[in-house]
């Protein structure tokens, strides 16, 4: 009897190994109402590899984290003032979530507010729309990358340059 139970348990455990782990997709929404100003390529034609969303208003209240689902956001503040048109390379404020497989989702350029701190949240405010870092105007920069390689597949087919979006708009899906 004992041997039968062991074999049954072993067979059950072995069958579990064949079942793939559930893949959870995360929807990416617009952090605020605005217009898609750039996607894979800038309007000038240069490679960008991300989505830029702009309301056209610096310090626009309530830039929310773009990824739907409770994830941990590591918030880095490099600039504490209101910056609308860039203040130099590596000065961008950013929120980053790192996935278990090493991919990172970045949200950059917001202005620091009392809501700019590390936490796990679902669509929480991270700051106000800004232009910190290497920005030419206020916007949110949404990008997924791993070891310097940018992934553009997450937004392919979901949004286009020039499209007006609101907070409910799906900009892409992260698998």
**CA separation for the pair 153, 130 (Å, rounded):** 26
DSSP 69: S
Strand partners for 64: 125
pLDDT of residue 6: 39
pLDDT at 35 over 60: yes
pLDDT at 136 over 90: yes
> What pLDDT, in 10s, does the model give residues 1-15?
444 443 444 444 444
pLDDT of residue 24: 74
Q: For residue 23, name the pLDDT band (cuts at 50, 70, 90).
A: low
pLDDT of residue 175: 83
What sign for the dihedral angle of Cα 55, 61, 84, 141? negative
**CA separation for the pair 96, 68 (Å, rounded):** 14
Strand partners for 105: 97, 144
Q: What angle do CA 50, 77, 111 make, to 5 degrees?
A: 70
Spell out the domains of the chain, with CATH numbers in brackets. Answer: 24-174 (2.70.70.10)
Specify the pTM.
0.86
pLDDT at 74 over 80: yes
**CA separation for the pair 42, 95 (Å, rounded):** 22
> What pLDDT, in 10s, does the model give residues 95-125?
999 999 999 999 999 999 999 999 999 999 9
pLDDT at 161 over 50: yes
pLDDT of residue 1: 45
Range with the poorest average pLDDT among 16-20, 75-79, 116-120, 141-145: 16-20
Q: For residue 126, name the pLDDT band (cuts at 50, 70, 90).
A: very high
**CA separation for the pair 83, 62 (Å, rounded):** 16
């Amino acid at each position: 009897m004992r041997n039968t139970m062991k074999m049954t348990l072993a067979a059950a455990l072995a069958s579990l190994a064949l079942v793939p782990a559930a893949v959870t997709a995360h929807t990416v929404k617009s952090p605020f109402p605005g217009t898609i100003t750039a996607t894979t390529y800038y309007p000038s034609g240069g490679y960008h590899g991300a989505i830029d969303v702009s309301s056209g208003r610096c310090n626009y209240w309530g830039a929310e984290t773009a990824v739907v689902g409770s994830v941990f956001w590591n918030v880095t503040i490099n600039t504490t003032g209101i910056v609308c048109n860039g203040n130099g390379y590596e000065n961008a404020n950013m929120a980053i979530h790192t996935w278990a497989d090493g991919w990172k989702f970045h949200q950059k350029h917001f202005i620091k507010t009392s809501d700019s701190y590390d936490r796990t949240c679902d669509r929480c405010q991270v700051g106000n729309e800004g232009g910190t870092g290497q920005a030419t105007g206020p916007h949110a920069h949404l990008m997924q990358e791993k070891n310097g390689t940018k992934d553009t597949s997450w937004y392919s087919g979901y949004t286009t340059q020039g499209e007006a979006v609101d907070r409910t708009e799906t900009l892409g899906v992260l698998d």
